[in-house]
Amino acid sequence: MKGKVCLVTGASRGIGAAIASALAERGARVVVHYGHAKELAVKVAENLAGSDHLVVGANLANPDAADEFMESVVDQTGRLDVLVNNAGIFVPHPPMTVDADDWLFKWEQTLAVNLLSPAALCQSAAKIMAEQGGGRIINIGSRGAFRGEPECPAYAASKAGLHAMSQSLAVALAPHGILVYAVAPGFVATDMAQELLDSEKGAGIRAQSPLGRVAKPEEIAETVCFLASSRAEFLSGGIIDINGASYLRS
């Protein structure tokens, strides 16, 4: 990864911050993206191994702005080798409780951040990477795409879409030297899951895995680093489960 430019969206905390840290440890120049938490992102960047890392902000609730955001990144770095679409939101909207307007609003909000912005960033990145002769795109999906999210159906749908998009792009972009992967974590100990893990449901959630725990962000980061390396070429098109055997799909 020495000298590779890696853009990690949603790197101000959680899984994104762990990915940024693991990539930097392997010698990458990391672009630490944040949505709202600039101070946290600056701290993440300050603690990364190596030097020349960047901090960039962009609200991914607006997919139309993704192209401009990507341009501003490459203006500063001169190139892009790895894109990790990690930023995401989980906004509950139980179908029998929310009213119709709220239901639709939550769907639009979730799809914008979790699917449409990653789609826009994938296309901008692919054009840049193709000109450079290749690159890697890693999309952070979810076990919820397979198992369902009864309280948050838009989240499950957005991640199922992200998985399907990754597979289609793996085919479309391989001739340009661009490899595309998705990873599908189960529960991970981050802000996104903390309220549930701390609630009375926490013990049941940990018991979903025969290992009796949820994942650490660093475990997702290790897999992403492998996919970003030159060793994972033939895994392109794969959706890698990281769920401690909590959900086995055929």
Ligand X SMILES: NC(=O)c1ccc[n+]([C@@H]2O[C@H](COP(=O)([O-])OP(=O)(O)OC[C@H]3O[C@@H](n4cnc5c(N)ncnc54)[C@H](OP(=O)(O)O)[C@@H]3O)[C@@H](O)[C@H]2O)c1
Applying CB under 6 A, among 86, 124, 166, 246 the residue interacting with ligand X is 86
Applying CB under 6 A, among 110, 142, 223, 246 the residue interacting with ligand X is 142
Give the alpha-carbon dihedral of 55, 140, 235, 144, to 10 degrees. 170
Applying CB under 6 A, among 74, 130, 174, 192 the residue interacting with ligand X is 192
Query: In degrees, to the nearest 5, what angle opens at C-alpha 20 toward C-alphas 18 and 21?
Result: 65
Applying CB under 6 A, among 14, 135, 153, 244 the residue interacting with ligand X is 14
Element spanning 29, H or E: strand 29-34
Is 155 considered catalytic here?
yes
Closest CB 5 distance from ligand X, rounded Å: 19
Report the alpha-carbon distance of residue 187 to residue 206 in Å, rounded: 8
Tell me the window of 55-63, 99-107, 163-171, 205-213 that interacts with ligand X (CB under 6 A): 55-63
If the CB atoms of residues 28 and 41 are measured against ligand X, the closer one turns out to be: 41
Is 243 one of the binding residues for ligand X (CB under 6 A)? Answer: no
Report the alpha-carbon distance of residue 216 to residue 186 in Å, rounded: 10
Tell me the window of 54-62, 165-173, 223-231, 233-241 that interacts with ligand X (CB under 6 A): 54-62
Applying CB under 6 A, among 16, 153, 161, 244 the residue interacting with ligand X is 16
| DSSP 3-state of 26 | coil
Is 244 one of the binding residues for ligand X (CB under 6 A)? Answer: no
Q: Phi/psi at 33 (nearest 5 deg)? A: -95, 145
Applying CB under 6 A, among 140, 179, 182, 228 the residue interacting with ligand X is 140
Report the alpha-carbon distance of residue 140 to residue 138 in Å, rounded: 7
Contacts of 59 (CB under 8 A, 6+ apart): 35, 36, 65
Q: Which residue out of 34, 155, 181, 247 is catalytically annotated? A: 155
Q: Phi/psi at 42 (nearest 5 deg)? A: -60, -40
If the CB atoms of residues 128 and 215 are measured against ligand X, the closer one turns out to be: 215
What is the pattern of x (binds ligand X, CB under 6 A) and - over residues 105-134?
Answer: --------x---------------------
> Taking a C-beta distance cutoff of 8 angstroms, is the pair 187, 213 a contact?
no
If the CB atoms of residues 60 and 80 are measured against ligand X, the closer one turns out to be: 60
Give the alpha-carbon dihedral of 196, 197, 203, 206, to 10 degrees. 110
Amino acid at position 48, single letter: L
If the CB atoms of residues 61 and 74 are measured against ligand X, the closer one turns out to be: 61
List interacting residues with ligand X (CB under 6 A).
10, 12-16, 34-37, 59-61, 86-89, 113, 140, 142, 185, 187-188, 190-193
- Residues known to be catalytic: 155
